[in-house]
Structure 1
């Protein structure tokens, strides 16, 4: 890689609105967060990755996997706390410890266990080609194209979201629509600290398929991820 210095951060709070304790639930014999930590170290990128967490149990597992831990305050670990606030806190804590040489950061969410080392390495490679401009965000094609969707009206009826002319249009004639899958965000640290935006413009997508884009939010997601890991 080039001269840029990356700060890899995994945000993993102890609580969860959906699946309780999901960040350390066993998936095919390993805690969920272990997949993300291992993927970073297997990517060949230099340095350590950092886990921002309020949980002693997550901290212990992260350290066992070789990561550095940044203790996150309770007020930044609620259901309404943003990932941006966790990143800003992590940067502030690292700056307190001495010389801070990071130019950019990589956000790796622990709920994407099928995002692998190659994905991380290649996404950083895309960002290197941009010379630190904008961001690289992992994405996957939408399953239902917005041009085929309907908007529910107040009277209980529906109308085409983008007009009737698109409803019968073949899929091949529709523009390519992507969505964030939450696995990888890479952007410049100074830009982020100023704007608190993960998808800084211009955004370059790092494409991932439907299977590797699984985002763990419910037991069904865990079951599907386990099936794919075993297949």
Structure 2
């Protein structure tokens, strides 16, 4: 059984617009902002801001580290370079997943989807920073070694904890165009890496929203797509 606990999620000021559910209308800023947040935050978590693929990372990269809320976990950033084609394709696949998710969201409304996505990104951060090695992403099982797969796995866990009723594996299969067995494999892989601890309290969630807001301010001049 997962350690979901009671989630008391605070307001998210930087994403606090009033949006219509399941819409990509230009009058609705939240869905478009969510796409940007997921792609840019996942790029930073998965590749580092240097834009280096985990399969070819150089251990000599300049590194800066910032402590998390409890002073035990850290997230790593690196100096910025260009994006290689493989990274671009992987982020494009991730972006397509998020757009599809918004249009076919199992979440009740757009604010619920926002909270589910933000918590999913926090779980990704936990996985990436769970090891002391600089590039702990290399320690992930093969099934999670893409931004799309890692985000989707954490998204299913986040949604299961936050929503009153869990979305079926079959529904996630339709949203992601993956076989149900692959969805279960992704979810179980992420759970194992998190040691089944997926509870997020309000204080940690508030800290994470601030981290994401700070990151978005740093990269808002970069046009990934």
Q: TM-score, normalised by structure 1?
A: 0.27
Which is richer in strand? 1
Q: If you compute each CA radius of gyration, which structure gives the higher value, 1 or 2?
A: 1
Normalising to structure 2: TM-score of the pair? 0.28
Between the two structures, name the one with larger relative contact order (CA 8 Å, sep ≥ 6): 2
